[in-house]
Amino acid sequence: MGNRAIAEIQFADYIYPAFDQIVNEAAKFRYRSGNQFNCGGLTIRAPYGAVGHGGHYHSQSPEAFFCHVPGIKVVIPRSPRQAKGLLLSCIRDPNPVVFFEPKWLYRLAVEEVPEHDYMLPLSEAEVIRQGSDITLVGWGAQLSVMEQACNEAEKDGISCELIDLKTLLPWDKETVEASVRKTGRVLISHEAPVTGGFGAEISASIVERCFLRLEAPVARVCGLDTPFPLVFEPFYMPTKNKILDAIKATVNY
Amino acid sequence: MTLAWQSVDFPGGKVSYTSEMSFISESSQTRVPCYRVLEDDGDLISDCDFQQVSKEDAVKMYSNMVTLQIMDNIFYEAQRQGRISFYLTSAGEEAISIASAAALSEQDIILPQYREPGVLLWRGFTLQEFADQCFGNKADYGKGRQMPIHYGSKKHNFFTISSPIATQLPQAAGIAYSLKMDNKKACVVSYIGDGGTSEGDFHAGLNFAAVMEAPVIFFCRNNGWAISTNVSEQFRSDGIVVKGRAYGIRSIRVDGNDALAVYSAVSAAREMAINEQRPILIEALTYRVGHHSTSDDSTKYRQLDEIVYWKKARNPVNRFRNWVQNIGWWSEQQETQLRNSVRKQLLEAIQVAEKTEKPPLSELFTDVYDHPPSNLEEQEKHLRETVTRHPKDYPSDISV
């Protein structure tokens, strides 16, 4: 209809009543109509992820459910500057987009954000730290945890390359593969439970395309396969040390 | 010209014809009146129609309302002090939860939203049990997994609270249907706020209950605010009571700040629900005096003098106190004694809850299913190794 709609879901944990509309309608609007109609003016923003005391219903990372739906895009920024540029791209993208914002960073992140209009490209991953021994892939708030692990690994002589995927659907396989071809090792980390998490898709794809280059199994350091617990949150989370242990295990495989 | 005697069959039954085209108005001339028994000052309205309450019940109701009020104040402060991570109050709605609970039997099953701890309090949940859940310690029946105020108690027939809105309504219809299948002399009571009636599950829950002829009371606390959304932005209907007829559900609007009116309405609704095997909708008009929760500051979206007015002039606890005192069932002395005693018990309960150990690490992995599958056993093993390697990453009050 020519107008744009930006819907906000207060917490990603509450997005599920909209799942039918997103999956069965928004994602298929263009395809089913033979491109007569489209739903590109739609952007849905929702805060996601751990916040320290959110429990089952204020901490979820539901990105994997949405990455399984051809027809929508899924985008997750790691910082304020990224959030502005990516969100503007999402709003202007001619496809429906689900934009998950890491709520942990709402009060924590401090960054210089340009006041002018700028857009950051979708479906382009960014190498935010160069390295040669292992490739780490992540998104959102988890990247800063991974960065800390990379810093400590460096003290042990391990050179880590860190990639911010930014767009999970459609994701930038080329950048990740190029990195894996360089390092021969990959570790994926996300807060969402490990089973069926988006790390599984990345792992399967890398194994398909880089099998002979791999020096070690693909590692995943993720949330546990439980509902997000309140008092046990520190145990549930993929911490810097869990990541560091996995980096070492992978490098020493 | 109306040809009223001519009717025809359609799926759904006979309907008579009219050749006069008229639309049913979007609203009725007058709003559905609100049932009340007590004046604002607590005087009983003369010649009113109500269910008499025994002295014992009235005193228990009043004491519980005071206890709820004090509990709310003290736990709210505890959150402000950083001792618990979250809290939300029932301020202004004490009559609703206590009086509705008082009209039910212990066999009636409660499916709450989250602003009805008064129902649990009435049924005998102790201040210690409330505190234990808020502190997420090992005495919490929920085993420390959920945020504070997400109480649940099987022995009190009070299903565990979840944060999502209105999800309890279709469940209530189903549970009521189960009671119906088993011929139980009991009903389900499910609570919802004004905001929750905009959810799809409100439609599903009410429609199913009506079609299945299930014995469930849907109790809507219309307190004027859904976090920062005022009712004027929530719906264009005359509140929620008028929606009942749309589902074929018998409904009543009641003054939620009048404990006796709530008690009477719920008593009558319960009888109908069980004896006639049908759902009932009750809309209780009230006001949310407190902020939505400790994560909210409602002065940002509503006038301070509106809040103060409802807190002082339309206070359900004071109103009921006046009635209970005027009949000679309550005194100033009892008031002072009660408030001091409750305050003392609460502070003690909090101290005990704070010192009680958290649940052990094994409880992170139990109850995902009835028995843990192999992936969870593996993850627990791996986690324990991690904790041994990096103990400083983990809180010391959780035993491994």
Nearest-Cα distance to chain A for B139, in Å, is: 13
Three-state DSSP class for residue A9: coil
pLDDT score of A197: 98
> CATH homologous superfamily of domain A5-105?
Thiamin diphosphate (ThDP)-binding fold, Pyr/PP domains (3.40.50.970)
Provide the number of CB pairs (under 8 Å) joining chain A to chain B. Answer: 85
- Say if CB B270 and CB B110 are below 8 A apart: no
- What is the per-residue pLDDT for B172? 98
pLDDT beyond 90 at A142: yes
Q: Running DSSP on this structure, what letter comes out for residue A113?
A: -
**Dihedral (Cα; B97, B99, B103, B108), 10-degree rounding:** 10
For residue A44, give the 3-state DSSP assignment: strand
Query: Predicted confidence band at B2 (pLDDT cuts at 50, 70, 90)?
Result: low
CB contact set of B60 (below 8 Å; sequence gap of 6+): B102, B122
Which residue in A123, A135, A237 sits closest to A186, CA to CA?
A135
* Average pLDDT estimate for B192-216: 98
Confidence of residue A1 (pLDDT cuts 50, 70, 90): confident
> Rounded to whole angstroms, how far apart are CA atoms A43 and A36?
20
pLDDT in tens, A84-93: 999 999 999 9
In whole angstroms, how far apart are CA A235 and each of A220, A245, B240, B283, B368?
Answer: 16, 15, 44, 44, 16
Q: Of A53, A57, A234, which has the smallest distance from its Cβ to B395's Cβ?
A: A234
Looking at residues A15-31, what average pLDDT do you find? 98
Closest approach of A228 to chain B, Cα-based (Å): 8
Could you report the predicted ipTM of this complex, rounded to two decimals?
Answer: 0.96
> Average pLDDT, stretch A34-42?
97
* Domain topology for A126-252: Rossmann fold (3.40.50)
Indicate yes or no: CB of A56 within 8 angstroms of CB of B398.
no
pLDDT over 70 at B369, yes or no: yes
Judged by CB atoms closer than 8 Å, whether chains meet at B364 and A235 is answered as: yes
User: What tokens appear for A150 in the block?
Assistant: 């990379």
Contact B175, B109 (CB under 8 A): yes
pLDDT at B168 over 80: yes
Calculate the CA B175 to chain-centre distance: 17
Amino acid at B27: S
Q: Is A73 on the interface with B (CB under 8 A)?
A: no
**Do residues B144 and B134 touch, judged by C-beta distance below 8 A?**
no
Which residues of chain A are within 8 Å of residue B136 when distances are taken between CB atoms? 230-231
- Average pLDDT of chain A to the nearest whole number: 98
Q: Which of A50, A129, A43, A130 is nearest to A92 (CA)?
A: A43
pLDDT of B91 above 80: yes
Average pLDDT over residues B336-365: 98
Mean pLDDT, residues B252-275 taken together = 98
Give one DSSP letter per residue of B37-62, joined into a string.
SB-TTSPBPTT-------HHHHHHHH
Residue B269: both structure tokens together = 């609704």
Spans of all domains in chain B: 55-355, 361-390
The DSSP bridge partners found for residue A43 are A6, A97
Q: Would you tell me which residues 212-241 of chain A have a C-beta closer than 8 angstroms to some C-beta of chain B? A: 224-227, 229-232, 234-236, 239, 241
pLDDT tens-digit series, residues B22-60: 999 999 999 999 999 999 999 999 989 999 999 999 999
B68 contacts B98 by C-beta, under 8 angstroms: yes
From the list B98, B100, B78, the residue with the least C-alpha distance to B88 is B78
pLDDT at position B317 over 90: yes
Q: How close A221 gets to chain B, by Cα (Å)?
A: 11
From the CA of A4, how many Å to the nearest CA of chain B? 22
Average pLDDT over residues B257-279: 98
Confidence of residue A222 (pLDDT cuts 50, 70, 90): very high
Is the model's pLDDT at B382 over the cut of 70?
Answer: yes
Q: What percent of chain B has pLDDT over 70?
A: 99
Please count the CA atoms within 13 angstroms of the CA of B79 that sit on its side-chain side: 20
Helix (H, G, I), strand (E, B) or coil at B280: strand
CB contact under 8 A, B136 and A53: no
Structure tokens at B324: 């209970």
Q: Where are the alpha helices (DSSP H) in chain B?
A: 55-80, 94-102, 117-123, 127-135, 168-181, 200-212, 243-246, 259-275, 304-312, 316-326, 332-355, 374-389
Superfamily of domain B55-355: Thiamin diphosphate (ThDP)-binding fold, Pyr/PP domains (3.40.50.970)
Tell me, what's the pLDDT at B316? 98
Average pLDDT over residues B315-323: 98
- Residues listed for chain A: 253
pLDDT of the residue at A245: 98
Partner-chain contact B164 A57, CB within 8 Å:
yes
Contacts of residue A57 in chain B, CB cutoff 8 Å? 147, 162-164
- The stretch B343-354 carries a mean pLDDT of 98
Residues of B in contact with A56 (CB under 8 A): 145-147, 162-163
Summarize the confidence of residues A212-230 as an average pLDDT: 98
As given in the structure block, the two tokens for residue B57 are: 């019940």
Give residue B1's pLDDT band: very low, low, confident or very high (50, 70, 90).
low
Whether pLDDT at B3 is above 80:
no
**Interacting residues of A56 by C-beta distance below 8 A, sequence separation 6+:** A13, A227, A228, A229, A230, B145, B146, B147, B162, B163
**Residue contact A225–B363, C-beta within 8 A:** no
CA distance A150 to A129: 9
- A144 falls in which pLDDT band (50, 70, 90)? very high
CA dist B151 to A18, B36, B134, B259, B301, Å? 27, 31, 9, 23, 29
Band (A167; pLDDT cuts 50, 70, 90) = very high
- What are the residue numbers of the active site of B? 77, 163, 292-293
- The pLDDT score that the predictor gives to residue B108 is 98
Q: Which residues of B touch A241 (CB under 8 A)?
A: 386, 389-390, 393
Q: Does A19 touch chain B (CB under 8 A)?
A: no
Q: Does residue B8 have a pLDDT over 90?
A: no
Q: Is the pLDDT of residue A100 over 90?
A: yes
Domain ranges in chain A are 5-105, 126-252
Residue B6, pLDDT score = 75
pLDDT of amino acid B131: 98
Average pLDDT over residues B155-177: 98
Those residues with Cβ within 8 angstroms of residue B341's Cβ, 6 or more apart along the chain or in another chain: none
- Of A143, A212, A203, the closest CA to residue A176 belongs to A203
Query: In chain A, what is the straight-line distance between the N-terminal and C-terminal CA atoms, in Å?
Result: 56
